[in-house]
Chains A and B, each alone.
Chain A
């Protein structure tokens, strides 16, 4: 392994070192703020080490990983997201019983899995990274272990993640059996030499991989776990699952499709189309029936993954650009939404503030938090002056580029339905409360409110002037090496 290789994987090394340091620090002395600080610094250092790594990119490191512009962009995105999740968690955990320190250790571990995922170019690294992510998440979901719902959610996640991993492995095995390789690019090369395009091993293998990934992304019909897990997990963990975990898997799926030329198969195209339409319609329609903000956001996230698949359909440079922009937007909006839930839950004792009734009159009682939540919901609905508007633009553009008309009409219908339940939450927040009910509120932790302010700023800034982000995406995320 050459020096340049080590330089290329510096972000991984730094984060892994940070994990060890945090672990040792906990062993020596339990201290919430200290552990939090170490985790924060480790993530920051890892983020900073992206610059030296970019000097040697694109570079293949062993057969398993590739550090190209695409990987670097997504690593940066994931680390920045982890940073805000850490900040949200600090205030949230401070008010709760029990040891808080291991939480940060687990978040860093999951992050390591996620950033390894986006740099994978081989089934082996893909699977190991995915399991690192999933197992850390398992413990995070059940972190408040003295309460029933988180433990139940964790168990659900365990079973479904196990099943989906098994399906995924089966699919990989089928492809390996037929093509004799586990490298994405070699799969693409060898496929071209196979005469018949509808090779049964390859297609079955791919279908099983997509199904396995569909579980992780909670696409319909593999979505059953999502609402329960979102509801049961502590709010910052939900934010992490909705963003980092799904985003990293999606980034990997796109890399696999690009490198292995999976776009060239009509049946695969139809499969993605069906998943997209089903996710958009089912996600939005089921969200209408919910009375719990976390469940509403869970179904809304299912629908958003459907929109992402519409952008994904385009293939080529347009898909890379559209998916990347959409993911950034989705990260910002989802972090904002779950950030609000986290921040409100931080001052609510041991309970989570998640029922719609808890949000009645929020706009008048806590105008800033209510305002931020309103803006975030409008962004999720794709209203202009927010990042969501350009995200929707990219999704429709991707669909039009692929001429996937059924998916586009599902997107239009889904957006209208989606608007309805986002507006429902806003209406509830805008309902005036009687003076008697209007009690004084504790101020929310400053870490949470500062992060929310930053996220809102990004959300509006990218909604008015997205050009810098698009330039950055074109500079980095479009460079997919093999």
Chain B
């Protein structure tokens, strides 16, 4: 039941936040904050109960499960399951949710209640995606997180918000429907084989498919996840959506929504269709490397700071794609750490850009420069996140990227070498960002308000977590390793068979 509450608290909280608007502008903010903290406590309770179990993996890989009938005639169940991977991603979701509420405290002054309703419902949909073990339920949540996000961008976004919001919605909805067709095809084939209609993850993973069918169904899933991830060439929605969204929207989009794509690959596209995934791996790894380099080059070319940060996401998630399809223990661990670290570092950068825009009313780096002299605290923190983003040793991103490259090297030296070039390009765009925005001659003498206590607090939490991930990621490894166990076994089995 704990799982249901983790999800329901957000849904109910969203409705409450909307209603709380009657009390005044601050009410929805406080309600959302309290709701998210309560939810965080719930998840931490589940983690602490299961931490020992997770490290030794004696009780199977699921910490908690919930299985209720929903639409029994169609074999659809409300089946939730939590393992280490979902737990970490949910922690990230709720953590960044708190950051997003805090970051929009002064930015959003219009229709505050509806804003927080959409924010919490997006988070609820995401948590649902990370928990669902019934494919229908998964798709339900997958779609559920879209429309609140759409409203976040379309109502509170920047100049070209309507265009960006619609583009975002169309890309994800269209690819989602392809996945839905693939799910139904899988269910029908399973029905022909067993006579039972079921959408259950475990029942469907036993379906026998011939090679071409498996590949087609796998591609249905892959396209949906590749749009979300995003993988080049399906990434074009991302720069627009990230740039036009309000700060909280960008943080959630980059920090969490992109991770649902990677999570989908890890949980569904690869383990349900191992043979097809194995033969597709070179293509996916190539897409990953292309994404890494292409994203980095485009990031370098941007004048709009927010757009720059958006393109770095394409680059970082390219690494994740490479790691997932390199498909050995090291690379998979790297991919998960990279997902977490990217959520934090990019979330931090977006909050920073949001704060800059609030102060300067522009995101154009040509109008910045010399900000260090005028806002030392903000600039120092900006420097930290830029450096985290380029993968400095000692911070989370380095651990992720290093492990991914190490793992990928044993699969294919060529991809690993090409991917490693991405590390260098990352240095270029990150340092260019610091150089153009913070260094150089100040553009004006007027004093600008530096980071407030509120901003300093959330930034401190994110910095601390990134350093922790960089120096002592072992608890994180221990938590998600059992959840990825079946992937390792599949990989080993397939490589054995290949020999």
Contacts and interface: CB of A to CB of B under 8 A. Distances in A.
B184 A400 contact: yes
A396 B181 contact: yes
A423 B150 contact: yes
Contacts of A400: 181, 184-185, 188
Interface stretch (B171-179, B304-312, B332-340, B452-460): B171-179
Given A412-B181, A467-B73, A470-B71, A401 B166 contact: no
Given A385-B144, A396-B181, A408-B181, A420 B170 contact: yes
Contacts of B280: none
A389 B143 contact: yes
B147 interface: yes
Given A396-B184, A412-B177, A467 B140 contact: no
A415 B144 CA distance: 16
A115 to B, nearest CB: 27
Interface string A406-419: 00100111011001
Nearest to B125: A384
B169 interface: yes
Contacts of A396: 177, 180-181, 184
Nearest to A474: B73
Interface residues of B, number: 30
Contact of B170 (A389, A416, A430): A416
Contacts of A337: none
B73 A470 contact: yes
Given A396-B181, A400-B188, A419-B170, A467 B72 contact: yes
B17 interface: no
B184 A389 contact: no
Contact of A384 (B71, B144, B150, B170): B144
**A interface majority secondary structure:** helix
A352 B197 CA distance: 48
A282 interface: no
Nearest to B180: A396
A385 to B, nearest CB: 7
A62 interface: no
A470 B173 contact: no
Nearest to A367: B114
B427 interface: no
Nearest to B166: A423
Interface string B56-71: 0000000000000011
A412 B178 contact: yes
Contacts of B447: none
26 contacts: A378-B147, A383-B146, A383-B147, A384-B143, A385-B144, A396-B177, A396-B181, A397-B184, A400-B181, A400-B184, A400-B188, A412-B174, A412-B178, A412-B181, A413-B174, A415-B174, A416-B173, A419-B173, A423-B166, A427-B166, A430-B154, A465-B71, A467-B72, A467-B73, A470-B71, A470-B74
Given A396-B177, A396-B180, A412-B177, 11 more contacts: A384-B143, A396-B181, A397-B184, A400-B181, A400-B184, A408-B181, A423-B150, A427-B166, A430-B155, A465-B71, A470-B74
Question: Which 8 pairs of residues, A with B, have the shortest CB-CB distance?
Answer: A416-B174, A412-B177, A400-B184, A384-B143, A384-B144, A467-B71, A384-B140, A470-B73
